[in-house]
Structure 1
Amino acid sequence: MWYALQPGRRARQIIGDGAALLWIALWAWGAVTAHRFLSLSALPARPAPGPRPRLPLLGPRMTGTLHDVARAGDRLADAGPAGSAPVQALAVLVAVALFVVPVGLLLAVWLPRRIRWTRQAAAARELAATEDGRELLALRALVRPLDELARFTDAGPGRLAEGWREADPVVLDALADVELRHLGLGRS
């Protein structure tokens, strides 16, 4: 059982799950964008194409040779930019941190609560199917604050405790229903 039966609680659970998925998606998008931006900044700058400048005092032959060497250097830089390795590593590190930190914090808070509710709801449904289980649910309802019990039942707390001790089926069912409603599984 992933969601409560009560419409209000179910809506809050669905909205919470959707918000968690949206949070994860937004941070994934942010991490990918940051990685791309940092990776682009590691690319070498390209000089604007145009006429080759003349180098004074060297002559046209030496100028052409120096330009050929410069073009060969550009081809080597294009083949494997060794200077960009630290920037690439930084880009990966930043992207991972941008994703892991906020998503990890969300999962550390949201996921245990969600799993705990799911396990409690499954156990409560299983207990509600048996007579002894309903008695245990009734006992669990009795340990709730008195104002919670008063909201869900017409009988006073003394009558509820007495009915539980005497194993009154009506009182046991009422108390078990209080516990199920508390988990969002009973009738509102």
Structure 2
Amino acid sequence: MQLYAQHPVQRTRQLAADVGVLAWVLLWVLVARTVHAAVLVLAEPGRAVEDLGSSVAGNMTDAAGTAEDVPLVGDELAVPFDALADAGGSVTGAGQAAQDAVATLATVLAVVLVVLPVGWVLSRWLPWRLRWVREASAARALLRAAPDLHVLAARALATAPLPRLAALPAGTGAGWHAGDPAAVRALADVELRRLGLRPPDR
């Protein structure tokens, strides 16, 4: 598998693009982590409410237990404290729900901050890189053993920009049609240069 071009300039471009994509991904991961941590700070009030509710519920439960020990009227005295303990439990639940909502918001924001920009870049970079790897690997396969330059020449004739074809020596197309090895090689070189690959030794 051919991952990078053999031509130094094109290989440098590919490496720069790969490093740029990696840096882009790392940047947005760091941004997402920072935003996640910043949003989680909003959970502090919910945590304080939960602690308050737990404290009130615990104190009122203890008070209700003490009131029940009073002879004759203990059960009646414990009723208000039990009610306050239940209210404290509700406050605890509200505080926990607020923390859960903030945690969910922080996670969603972090995921969106990574998926959207990274997905946008990958949707452009990945097809470009995979297409080049597939084409370059196929071209290298054609060059192994007995190089089949006719396929590469035909590919150049079909896809190369007209200015590049016009820069070839006059009669190259007719020479390719007649099977002239020099014309075939000239056209194959156009395709190989596009891919950043070295032509086979003459």
TM-score scaled by length of structure 2? 0.70
1:88 pairs, out of 89, 97, 103, with 103
Verify: 1:135 aligned to 2:150, yes or no: yes
* Aligned equivalents of 2:108, 2:162: Cα separation in 1: 53
How far 1:150 sits from its partner (Å)? 3.9
Instruction: Report if aligned partners of 1:128, 1:137 keep a CA contact under 8 Å in 2.
Output: no
Extract unaligned runs of 5+ from structure 2.
49-83
Deviates more, 1:21-30 or 1:32-41: 32-41
The answer to whether structure 1 residue 165 and structure 2 residue 180 are counterparts is no
Residues 170, 88 of structure 1: alpha-carbon distance in 2 compared, 3 angstrom cutoff? same
One-letter amino acid of the counterpart of residue 147, structure 1? P
Q: 2:98 is aligned with what amino acid?
A: G
Instruction: Please list, as runs of the form range in 1=range in 2, the aligned pairs for 1:66-85 lying within 5 A after superposition.
Output: 81-85=96-100
Residues 169 and 129 (structure 1 numbering): CA distance in 2 closer, same or farther, change over 3 Å?
farther
Between Structure 1 and Structure 2, how many residues are aligned? 158
* RMSD (Å), alpha carbons: 2.6
Q: CA deviation at 1:83?
A: 2.1
What TM-score, normalized to structure 1?
Answer: 0.74
More helix by share: 2
User: What whole-Å deviation, never above 9, does each CA across 1:20-79 have from its counterpart, x for those lacking one?
Assistant: 000000000011111111112211376xxxxxxxxxxxxxxxxxxxxxx9xxx6xx95xx
Separation in 1 of the partners of 2:103 and 2:137? 47
Q: Tell me the distance in 2 between the aligned counterparts of 1:132 and 1:97.
A: 49
Correspondence 1:46-65 to 2 at 5 A = none
Give the Cα separation in 2 of the matches to 1:146 and 1:11.
Answer: 26
Aligned-partner Cα distance in 1 for 2:197–2:107: 45
- Residues 1-80 of structure 1 mapped to structure 2, 5 A cutoff: 1-44=2-45
Q: Do structure 1's residue 119 and structure 2's residue 131 form an aligned pair?
A: no
Distance 2:123 2:161 in 1: 29
SS of corresponding position for 1:5 = coil
Matching residue within 162, 168, 171 for 1:146: 162
